[in-house]
Amino acid sequence: MRRVRGLLQKRSARWSEGVFVAEGAELLRTALRAGTPIESVYLAPEGARDPATAQSCDDALRAGARLFDLAPGVLERVADTVTPQPVLTVLPMLAEVAPALRAHDEPLIVVLVDVRDPGNAGTVLRTADAAGVGAVVFCGESVDPYNPKTVRASAGSLFHVPFSVQDDPVALTASLARRGYRTMAAVVRDGEDYAEVDWSVPTALFLGNEAAGLRPAVRASLGGAVAIPMDGRAESLNVGMACAVLCFEALRQRRRRDRRSTD
């Protein structure tokens, strides 16, 4: 269990081994449905007493995973949460996409630059999944997509949305632009009204750090900016909420075009 604790706590441990931990029976079931190979499952006694959880563990075992039954209290000493889920699953890291190396065959890509909060990152993955976003890129100093809090906040969407980890956002911008993507910054003000943007154009939407926004060098490298007009006193929306508003506007426009094409 020392290894599992290290995987939960340290990015370096996850990346050196190429594996991560998903907490809870629902994430285990999602991984199985997605056809993700499973290395091992750690089951607490309370999980073994739950028929649905026990069934998911049996399914993992039949799929080739190793199953470890834990003694009472062991999982509480290892898990990342105060009230842990009764099952931990160790999985190999998912196959990454490299949007910068692809033609512009996705209508929308979301790029997170220096987004540090794992909850926000997980919300972005979940939003991207729901809104049909082609891929999410974690760039610069962004949180590890395999951070246990990000995995939990994604609510299983980590297994559905293609994503990539890239180092240099400016280099990524140039690469995306060469392949036909319009590159746009999400900004608080002085951007084009998001409802007036034509989201049918293949677009890479860049979202910046929760406190500081996009670095000046990144902002300068982008081809445009989009903003969400607000009437109230709030200074801004958080990254997850802003992403949802923008991505669902793009989805709304795609659905409207699809309806018109079938009329």
**Span 25-71, pLDDT tens digits:** 999 999 999 999 999 999 999 999 999 999 999 999 999 999 999 99
Q: Is the pLDDT of residue 103 over 60?
A: no
What is the domain count for the chain? 2
The more confident residue out of 4 and 232 is 4
Q: What is the pLDDT averaged over residues 148-161?
A: 95
Together in a domain, 166 and 226: yes
Inside any domain, residue 116: yes
Together in a domain, 133 and 77: no
Whether this prediction's pTM lies above 0.95 is answered by: no
Tell me the C-alpha distance between 31 and 38, whole Å.
Answer: 8
Together in a domain, 78 and 180: no
- For residues 31 and 92, the answer to whether their CB atoms sit within 8 Å is no
CATH code assigned at 258: 3.40.1280.10
Domain limits for position 235: 99-262
Inside any domain, residue 2: no
- What is residue 140's predicted lDDT score, i.e. its pLDDT? 94
Q: What is the pLDDT averaged over residues 217-225?
A: 96
Together in a domain, 37 and 111: no
CA dihedral in degrees (152, 154, 156, 157; nearest 10)?
A: -160
- What is residue 73's predicted lDDT score, i.e. its pLDDT? 86
Together in a domain, 178 and 241: yes
Q: Is the pLDDT of residue 116 over 90?
A: yes
Query: Final residue of a domain: which of 55, 71, 92?
Result: 92
- What is residue 145's predicted lDDT score, i.e. its pLDDT? 96
